[in-house]
Structure 1
Amino acid sequence: MSDEERRDSLADQAAAWIPPWARPTPPEPAPSDEERADLDSSADLGSNGPPEGPIPSKISPSGEILGETSGGDVGVPGRESAVDDGGSAGGVPPRRGRRRAAPEPAPAPVLDDAELRGALEAILLVVDQPVSELVLAEVLEQAPERVGAMLDDISAGYTAAGHGFELRRAAGGWRLYTRPEYATYVERFVLDGQSVRLTQAALETLAVVAYRQPVTRSRISAIRGVNCDGVLRTLVGRGLVEECGTEADSGAFLYRTTTMFLEKLGLNSVDDLPPLAPFLPDDVEELADATR
């Protein structure tokens, strides 16, 4: 081939050459039956399915267009798409579904006044010790303020109606008690001729502990003028007096009254004890100095 023929051939090739970006996109091969089934299932996703429209095509380093894929082809096996390993276009990770919030507990039922009154009366009839408003409110799943107001209303109603029993606060709680004016009839029924009263020495010792608590055994004996070890053991055994620590100076045991003591007397605290001054002799100061 001569030089002129070679130049003509190169010129023809140069004129016929088409850059990669201007070349037509080759037709996509027809999908197989498996791919067609996947396409049909993805079309049924509705608004939650993959986005519609073309996805940007990939271009090879030489400039060739590798092909264009539609939004419906994303995730189809055997198809190459422009979605990278991140799971979405541009490498943005897919959004995860939100966690479902835990179901809120059902609100406690609100009892009407009649039902709340009946429930409180039923509980107070079976308790063996004073029960606080907080415990009653927790059991009935009601507000403590409402329970306290209802208890006050029940107590006032019993008093106004003149029942043989009353509802009163004692030892930090509420309990039903018989009225003092009917005490003789109750004692006649309960005791049935048997005397279970405390002795005079036990009553005196209990009074000293109640008004001077916390107090040591030696101090009680000094006030009464006799040894009170046996009487004090009796009071502890009956649950009316208990130990409450030791004295810092001497290390002697200290004694105080118990909750049962308040319950038996129908008192809410020792502050409700009657004042002792009217029962003291005029020369009490001299007697106190003589015992020291």
Structure 2
Amino acid sequence: MSDPLIETPQPLALRPALEAVLMVADQPLDTVTLATAVGHPVEDVVGALQTLAEQYDEQDRGFELRHVAGGWRYYTREAYAPAVERFVLEGQQARLTQAALETLAVVAYQQPVSRARVSAVRGVNVDGVMRTLLTRGLVEEVGQDAGTGAHLYRTTGYFLERIGISSLDELPELAPYLPEMADLEDELERVGGFTAAPDDHVAAPTEETP
């Protein structure tokens, strides 16, 4: 017999519950995770997410709900991004150096790839730059080469999120142009907002500045 003093929790309203959870998410959340959090079936959650995304678009809200990198997350609507940038960055743009941008492009299009291979494509030692990309969470280790034992690297889910795509299959067809790095730089800047800092590409004989 149940205790009459203990109240049975009432089901949460689906869409407001999803909004509350997504508001505090610091990364895209998949539908299973969201369904568990709000206590509703996955199929209902999928429908509610799609409805919310459509409503935000119709109302021209300052944010949008997007499906990126296998999950759902709120993003600033592109038209209002300048206001957010001014507020958060106070006029300072967080940039990747030209060296880091070039190295990231090689990893993106040739992954999994070793540092030695990236260095060969770029013509300079990239150890310092790779450390920068690892620290920023754009690149990660993914095992070792069976023949040489060298560590291999690939781009991360955060990279996909920054670029705004769900999988590497959506990358533009630029691989045939390697090692023409200018093409890769331009495309990454265009689709993902990565910007090369001016006059920041200093290649030393052994290792360049990240």
Q: TM range, normalised to the smaller chain?
A: 0.7 to 0.9
**In the alignment, what sits opposite 2:132?**
234
* Structure 1 residue 134, shift from structure 2 partner: 0.4
Separation of aligned partners in 2, 1:144 and 1:227? 48
Asked if the contact 1:108–1:141 (Cα under 8 Å) also holds between the matched residues in 2, the reply is no
Structure 2 stretches lacking a partner, 5+ long? 1-7, 181-210
Residues 40-189 of structure 1 mapped to structure 2, 5 A cutoff: 115-189=13-87
Separation of aligned partners in 2, 1:268 and 1:254? 22
Separation of aligned partners in 2, 1:109 and 1:185? 39
Q: Deviations over 1:252-275 (max 9, x none)?
A: 100011122222233222223233
In structure 2, the CA distance between the partners of 1:161 and 1:275, relative to structure 1 (3 Å rule), is farther
Separation of aligned partners in 2, 1:130 and 1:142? 19
Separation of aligned partners in 1, 2:44 and 2:172? 31
Asked if the contact 2:141–2:152 (Cα under 8 Å) also holds between the matched residues in 1, the reply is yes
Rg bigger for which structure? 1
* Structure 1 residue 135, shift from structure 2 partner: 0.9
**Matching residue's letter, 1:215:** V
Equivalent residues, number: 173
Q: Deviations over 1:80-120 (max 9, x none)?
A: xxxxxxxxxxxxxxxxxxxxxxxxxxx99665xxx211111
What SS does structure 2 have at the residue aligned with 1:249?
coil
Asked if the contact 1:165–1:177 (Cα under 8 Å) also holds between the matched residues in 2, the reply is yes
Higher relative contact order (CA 8 A, sep 6+): 2
Structure 1 stretches lacking a partner, 5+ long? 1-106, 285-292
Separation of aligned partners in 1, 2:143 and 2:62? 41
What SS does structure 1 have at the residue aligned with 2:96?
coil
* Structure 1 residue 196, shift from structure 2 partner: 2.1
Separation of aligned partners in 1, 2:174 and 2:56? 31
Is 1:269 matched with 2:163?
A: no
Separation of aligned partners in 2, 1:156 and 1:273? 26
The alignment's C-alpha RMSD in Å is: 2.3
State which of 82, 86, 91 in structure 2 corresponds to 1:193: 91
**Matching residue's letter, 1:219:** R
In structure 2, the CA distance between the partners of 1:109 and 1:275, relative to structure 1 (3 Å rule), is farther
**Matching residue's letter, 2:50:** D
Identity of aligned residues (%): 57
Asked if the contact 2:35–2:45 (Cα under 8 Å) also holds between the matched residues in 1, the reply is yes
Residues 241-280 of structure 1 mapped to structure 2, 5 A cutoff: 241-276=139-174, 280=177
Q: State the TM-score, normalizing by the size of structure 1.
A: 0.55
Separation of aligned partners in 1, 2:150 and 2:177? 28
Q: State the TM-score, normalizing by the size of structure 2.
A: 0.75
Asked if the contact 2:85–2:91 (Cα under 8 Å) also holds between the matched residues in 1, the reply is no
* Structure 1 residue 182, shift from structure 2 partner: 2.4
Asked if the contact 1:168–1:176 (Cα under 8 Å) also holds between the matched residues in 2, the reply is yes
What SS does structure 1 have at the residue aligned with 2:21?
helix
